[in-house]
Amino acid sequence: MNSVRSLAAIVVLACLALVVLLLFEFHTPAAAAKLIASSAFIGVALTSGASRSAYGRLILLGLFFSWFGDMFLVGLTEMFFLLGLGAFLLAHVSYVAAFGVHGVDRRWLLMAGLPVFGLAIAVTLWLNPHVAPYLAVPVRTYTAVISVMVVMAFGTRGAGGSLLILGGALLFFISDLSVAALRLVQTDFPTYVWGLPFYYGGQLCLALSVSQSRSH
């Protein structure tokens, strides 16, 4: 338990350091802080017993894909953006599989589906004018998959799943709006100020959720 708390604290502190370093445009130290924060959430999952259940192993796989996505997004070129998008797409597929293994309530899937996919359509319409034609299919595919991930997270809640699962999925979804605003819409405001805490908070929730789902 002490190891889990220590690693969780590292995630939080490294995330805060990352935001501050980016604000002051210290990009090399910021990349190091990102590496530390992303490695630490994998450590949280491992020390929480991720390897002891199918659910935990799938969450761990998603966290590994996310780690690669984080490293790719350090790069500023469109190629690195696409690689990062692909890595996070695989992370969400892993999370969807994990939630399926956990078990879901179909009624909750139906209740969550309409508002979540409605929001996804609104986000797509918002992004359309800012997305280059060759990015349209990858971005829309990613939006669809992360929406499925959120709906599945609602489904686990209906099946008695931990709030950590639903909270992690929602935080991840919201954090992606920050990435979209920064990298696609290219807003002047540094949206990572709120996006990164939401992202690392979401990953931390998912990593911690494995300790409550060892029977799946």
Round the average pLDDT of the chain to a whole number and report it: 95
Q: In this predicted model, what pLDDT tens digit does every residue of 148-192 receive, in sequence order?
A: 999 999 999 999 999 999 999 999 999 998 988 888 888 888 999
Q: How confident is the model at residue 91 (pLDDT cuts 50, 70, 90)?
A: very high
Mean pLDDT, to the nearest integer, of 91-101? Answer: 98
Q: Taking the model in full, what pTM does it have?
A: 0.95
**What are φ and ψ of residue 103, in 5° steps?**
110, 140
Give the per-residue pLDDT at 215: 56
Mean pLDDT, to the nearest integer, of 185-212? Answer: 94
Asked if residue 108 has pLDDT above 90, the reply is yes
Whether the CB-CB separation of 166 and 206 falls below 8 Å is answered with no
Percent of the chain at pLDDT > 90 equals 88
| Cα–Cα dist 7/22, whole Å | 22
Q: In this predicted model, what pLDDT tens digit does every residue of 112-127 receive, in sequence order?
A: 999 999 999 999 999 9
| Cα–Cα dist 115/132, whole Å | 27
Give the per-residue pLDDT at 189: 87
Mean pLDDT, to the nearest integer, of 199-214? Answer: 92
Asked if residue 216 has pLDDT above 80, the reply is no
Residue 32: both structure tokens together: 């190091």
Give the per-residue pLDDT at 24: 96
> Could you please report the per-residue DSSP string of 73-132?
TTS-SHHHHHHHHHHHHHHHHHHHHHHHHH---HHHHHHHHHHHHHHHHHHHHHHGGGS-
Domain range annotation of the chain: 2-212
Asked if residue 214 has pLDDT above 70, the reply is no
CB neighbour list of residue 205: distance below 8 Å, 6 or more residues apart? 164, 165, 167, 168, 171
Kindly calculate the radius of gyration of the chain based on its CA atoms and give it in whole angstroms: 17
Percent of the chain at pLDDT > 70 equals 98
Please give the C-alpha separations between residue 37 and each of 41, 48, 120, 157, in angstroms, as whole numbers.
7, 17, 28, 27
